Amino acid sequence: MNRIWSKGVSILLVSIMAGGLLSGCTNSSGNGEGAEGGDGNKLKILHNWNGSGGSDNGITPVEEVIKEKTGVTLEWEYTKGSETEKVNQIFATQDLPDIYTGPAWGGELDGIIKAAKEGQLVDISDKLGDYPNLAKSIAKENVPPALYEKAIDAYDGKKYLLLQNQPATNEDGMDWLYGFYVRKDIAEKVGVDPQSVVTKEDFYNFLQKIKDANLKESGQPVFPLGGFSNGWSVGIGNTMFYSGASYVDKGDGTVEHNFFTKGYEEYTLFYRKLVEEGLMDPEAFTQTDPIAKEKINQGRIAILAAHYPAILDASKEYVTAHPGSDYIPVGPLERADVDPSRPVDLGIQGNNVTAITSSCKGACVDAALKFLDYMASDEGFMLARYGVQGVHWDMKDGKPVPNKEWFDKFTADQSGKVRKNEGISIGLESVTGLDRINSAAGGDIWADQDRLDAMENARKILRPNGIHVITAYNPGDVITKSPEWEMLKPSMDRMGDAWKEAIFAKSDEAALSIINDLREQLRKTGYDQAMQFTNENLKGKDIVTVQMPN
Amino acid sequence: MIKTRVSNNRLMKRIWQHKLFYLFMLPGIVWFFLFSYVPLYGIQVAFRDYNFVGGFTGSPWAGLKYFQQFFNYYQSGDIIRNTIIISLMKLLIGFPMPIILALLLNEVRMIKFKKTVQTLSYLPYFVSWIVVVTLMQRLLTPYGGPVNDLLGSFGAESIQFLNNPTWFYQMIVGSDIWKNIGWNSIIFMAAIAGIDQQLYEAAKMDGAGRFRQMWHVSLPGIRNVAIILFILAVGSLMSAGYEQLLLLNGPATANLGSVLDVHAINSGIREGRLSYAAAVGLFQSVIALILVVTVNRIARKVSDVSLF
């Protein structure tokens, strides 16, 4: 009897161990019902924006409406970390969502284009006729020219990518007001008018004055200059040293990468000086976003570099507790080789590409297209931006008006969670087609007046000559078509890292050596030939050679 | 039929007799098959221009293109050098530490104290590197970190421990030892527990004190285990620790801390160059194999102890 029990228990134990091992190897993440040949009622959507997030309470009221209108239930995945890594990871592991939506620039876009070319995305060219809102979002006239050639119409007539948030009219163009912003109370304390800071010398002296004031918050030193996670975006001072664009005019009708310019060297050495002299937070490039926000919340950053909405959000708590400590614009700072009366050149364009992956088949594709087309309609657009009509807002005299109860709740909530729990700001805004926030939807109804006033005030200061929306060709989109690109790309990808290493180098010579070593590697991997190809292909075209961050 | 075949083979007969015990090996065999042998199939990616359509078998052959790319890369020499330096430091400083801890704990007679120290030394092993590095950042920052506050209370200057070339190796090796010392000492504790107590009695009779007993009985008792573990550790010489270096290496220390593991992961995941990353990984593995075989041979000649 004992022997039988012993055998039975042993076999059971082995079965559990082996079963556990094998179940660990199975891919249980699922790909939505569509992947399994279901009816496409449930769609898995990856919102590939670092730090984005959703509701804590399961399906939201906004998603309930989507379900009612399209029959689709959404299952979200959000990215925590590098967006480029996430793109490469999902295709390498084949752990694909049904719908991908993410940034429309840099390595993320390159990864998605590669996936399209390698059959990892669904061709929607023959279906666009049934989905007019989607067709409109990628019509040639609604996409920046270089982006259209590179990403939308680059597959022999097939169409894989949708572009979102391209301003429908000039009025809809969102100027994020990138710049340096200083704490008002600190500027007053050190006796500097932020608008008197114009040249790089002024900027350096301003930082020095803040350091010399030896300010402390809760016993901790105040850093003269800081940024968000991984140093975003302390490097925007580059426009003081070269024209800001990735490719600059050589003066002979051709362009070269800014990395090869004298201005880039000066820019690097300037920042090296800031690090060496303790004018910049030395942890800026190694900190996470929570740590960066903690420093801002503790009042330990005097000047912050980023776009203004991010600064307003991050400093809200501190400013509420310490009135008068709000961040205000510095400058406008000089722009190297640019006439001071020139309007600010901004590459305002769609910021999001969306695609249906090969994981979604049959009914899943139809469901995905139906859902995306609904979101790109005026009704879907307003649902994503404002919430549920009749609950969160109402139409009055042809204009959307927020429900006061919800307006107060959203304004009082500094974490943004209340809004997310209702289904607003959970990623749906990234799939709403052309941006019509002002021209068709009456503006951002949830923006509180103080915030709008602050934005307007910053706009008046930083954009005294207005803005100019760039529509020219970006050489960065052309060089990727050169035969040398495959070999060149890894070296190009290292530029940002090399710059960071250089500003922490022991000496100016060591810093320049890091830059020059990479320049040599770039040349060795075909930079000169690739640039020749780029310049030849851009002959006679309007090229982006001046740009401000947007 | 099976019984007849088993009876013709002594080994198979023995296995069959003890089949229940051998059954317990099954999960281990399955694990090794799935995670150590099946992935070998993927090595071919290093020799192919991998694309998603062709997959492992359908992508075109690329020969040694990606190995050439790696050796032509302007930082490959620095990356290999950094990997070897960091691994050697971990090996030479980190390897004896668990042995020392095990020997010291063996001498502790207060069981409660011994158990407490053991538990505390094991715990860091179960903490992920992300948590460890976040803790280090919080504790060691010159801007309000308790370590620098303590130094300050003694009148010392604040020290930027992290992202500082001067303190880089100390931080890497120190945190690695802190994290692994307790866990790695378990096997040595077990080996010490297996030493015949009569040897200690005999040593005592010969007048050996505690230190002499440790030197002449405990240490030789764990010698074979230590050699085997050393041979295995040498196999990791080309692998300096992906998570730790990815998180602790910053722009200021990049010339010291860029290692093969991180380079391979960055190339594969960050840049999407899967074939190149596989080539770097394969290079690491081949060197590791050569090192293990070489050290194993040396160990066999010198001490008669070897893995195979």
| Minimal Cβ distance to A14: which of B26, B72, B137 | B26
pLDDT at B4 over 60: no
pLDDT at A33 over 50: no
pLDDT band at A28 (very low <50, low <70, confident <90, very high): very low
Question: In the predicted model, what is the mean pLDDT of residues B28-54?
Answer: 90
Kindly report, residue by residue over A297-325, the tens digit of the pLDDT. Answer: 999 999 999 999 999 989 998 999 999 99
* Side chain identity at residue A184, one-letter code: K
Exposed / middle / buried, residue B193 (Cβ in 10 Å: 0-12, 13-18, 19+)? exposed
Kindly report, residue by residue over B162-207, the tens digit of the pLDDT. Answer: 999 999 999 999 999 999 999 999 999 999 999 999 999 999 999 9
pLDDT band at A358 (very low <50, low <70, confident <90, very high): very high
Average pLDDT, chain A: 91
Alpha-carbon gap: A393 to the closest alpha carbon of chain B (Å): 42
Name the residue with higher pLDDT: B65 or A253: B65
Alpha-carbon gap: B15 to the closest alpha carbon of chain A (Å): 16
Contact A285 B51 (CB under 8 A): no
Question: In the predicted model, what is the mean pLDDT of residues B141-154?
Answer: 92
pLDDT at A25 over 60: no
Q: What does the pLDDT read at residue A488?
A: 94
Question: In the predicted model, what is the mean pLDDT of residues A221-229?
Answer: 95
Domains and CATH numbers, chain B: 70-303 (1.10.3720.10)
pTM for this model (two decimals): 0.87
- The answer to whether B158 contacts chain A (CB < 8 Å) is no
pLDDT band at A19 (very low <50, low <70, confident <90, very high): low
Name the residue with higher pLDDT: A16 or A242: A242
Query: For residue A115, what is the nearest residue in chain B, using CA coordinates?
Result: B52
pLDDT at A61 over 80: yes
Nearest partner of B171 among B132, B123, B131, judged by Cα: B132
pLDDT at A449 over 90: no
Question: In the predicted model, what is the mean pLDDT of residues A174-188?
Answer: 96
Interface test with A, best of B19, B20, B253 (most A CBs within 10 A): B20
Tokens at A341, concatenated? 């009366």
Q: Cα(B307)–Cα(B299) distance, rounded to whole angstroms? A: 9
Nearest partner of A181 among A323, A307, A275, judged by Cα: A307
Alpha-carbon gap: A85 to the closest alpha carbon of chain B (Å): 4
Each as own residue / partner, the long-range contacts of residues B42-47 (CB below 8 Å, 24 or more positions apart, any chain) are: B42/B278, B43/B278, B43/B282, B45/B274, B45/B275, B45/B278, B46/B275, B46/B278, B46/B279, B46/B281, B46/B282, B47/B275, B47/B279
Q: What does the pLDDT read at residue A105?
A: 85
Question: In the predicted model, what is the mean pLDDT of residues A475-489?
Answer: 91
Q: What does the pLDDT read at residue A81?
A: 82
Q: What does the pLDDT read at residue B2?
A: 46
* Side chain identity at residue A396, one-letter code: K
Question: In the predicted model, what is the mean pLDDT of residues A179-186?
Answer: 98
Question: In the predicted model, what is the mean pLDDT of residues A154-163?
Answer: 95
pLDDT at A102 over 90: yes
Handedness of CA B220, B221, B223, B226 (dihedral sign): negative
Question: In the predicted model, what is the mean pLDDT of residues A150-176?
Answer: 92
- The answer to whether A500 contacts chain B (CB < 8 Å) is yes
pLDDT at A39 over 80: no
Cα-based distances in Å from B85 to B91, B163, B173, B288, B292: 10, 18, 11, 15, 18
DSSP E strand boundaries for chain B: none
Determine phi and psi for A119, rounding to 5 degrees: 75, 25
Q: What does the pLDDT read at residue B1?
A: 44
